[in-house]
Structure 1
């Protein structure tokens, strides 16, 4: 058995009976979910379906929300948000190294920036970066910590279409190189299919669809039609062929 196949046999995240409520409204309702170590998973759902709530619960940052259930997750978890959240008063390299120490910290930070295509931008201010560059910086800040689990909450939602395509390729390459478990929250069905090996649809507080994306066998159009149907989209163009499965 290949090492990566062995890795997928053990869960990085295990949720049992996870419930989260806001002001008496149940958002997650007894949700069960396993995320295997090393798997790239995308999470789809309508606005307000609880996607970000689930991500924050896994990250341990949903303080103040009424909830119950059991959660097992790795110690090393990084989160990437829709905006880069780079501190404007720190240059790029200090932003990447925020909270990181050790003799080799700067070397690791420079290597992470080079890996995301920002070599030579270490002393730039965040205000000098484009939107895509800022998100590359956010990815570098996450990866320099060598996370076992990377949680991404619509990290490309604010980018233009061409920049999004470039970032898709970069994220997939970084995942293939480092193999953390990834949970990507997105509204974009095509983004989910292109990037992930497994796509979940969250509805009424539970996982309504659990779809394996087989890149060598499946059709983008078929996956797209199935996911759009699960999301309640039934227009005639739903099954139209999409872009290749590889970004």
Structure 2
């Protein structure tokens, strides 16, 4: 019955034959993709493979690229970037509420900041926050809009390893609480495996692998059951696992 309900439920994101390019260079070559409501998806691929191009196309942020195909996405979409993109001349709460409308926006903003562990920092300036705290504020800014779809473009790439692990836990907890669909762009295979329930590999404009991670949460990087998933993803990326040993620096 659950499978039948899932089949009858319209996807949060539906892409059919999406082609995108810059001039004569084709970056996305006839992409097809359905993301069900509430699914957490990670997107892997080499630099220049089109990951950010796909994310920006879904977010309707890039109007200079050319292409064709069909793309459907929810009305309420939020985007988190690698840079928190907080306005330095606005206090944290004002940054979170930028463009927010509706009932009691200030109360909603304070609640969102409390969810990400920034209660009491509403009147701080962005420069007074650490890198991790700035990304927490960026997550709060996304959550206050109650998105049906959260697009995250390497949101933890600029953070140190320990802060990234903490942010992974926070993002997963927030997803479990709010249940938006999530598309996370990342270069980190382990980050994808630990966070997502489905991992896509983009290569030469097409998906070369669509992998379901059928393990319960929370997951640990040390879990030996992740090794098989890691091997499949590294193979799809053309990387031999022994060529890049895990260290504290790249632990994600």
- TM class by smaller structure: over 0.9
Equivalent residue for 2:236, pick from 210, 230, 234: 230
Q: How does 1:168-179 map to 2 (within 5 A)?
A: 168-179=168-179
C-alpha distance after superposition, 1:12-67 (max 9, x if no partner): 00000100111210000011011111000000000000000000000001111011
* Counterpart in the other structure of 1:117: 117
- Give unpaired runs (5+ residues) of structure 1: 241-246
Q: Distance in 2 between matches of 1:147 and 1:158?
A: 24
Give the alignment's TM-score, normalised by structure 1. Answer: 0.92
Deviation at 1:7, TM superposition (A): 9.3
Contact 2:50 2:202 in 1 (8 A): yes
Between 100-109 and 203-212, the greater mean CA deviation after superposition: 100-109
Asked if the contact 1:92/1:121 (under 8 Å) is kept, the reply is yes
Structure 2 gap segments, 5+ residues each: 218-223, 247-251
My pick for the range that moved more, 151-160 or 63-72, is 63-72
1:29 alignment partner in structure 2: 29
Separation in 1 of the partners of 2:188 and 2:9?
A: 28
Separation in 2, partners of 1:220, 1:213: 9
Corresponding residue SS for 1:183: strand
Partner of 1:68: 68
Provide the rounded CA distance (Å) in 2 between the counterparts of 1:58 and 1:121.
32
Aligned residues: 240
**Whole-Å Cα distance in 2 between the matches of residues 7 and 74 of structure 1?**
18
Provide Cα deviations, 1:112-167, integer angstroms capped at 9, x if missing partner. Answer: 00000000000000000000000000000000000000000000000000000000
Report the equivalent of 1:243: none
Q: Normalized against structure 2, the TM-score is what?
A: 0.90
CA contact (8 A) 2:234 2:241 kept: no
* Counterpart contact for 1:222–1:239, Cα < 8 Å: no
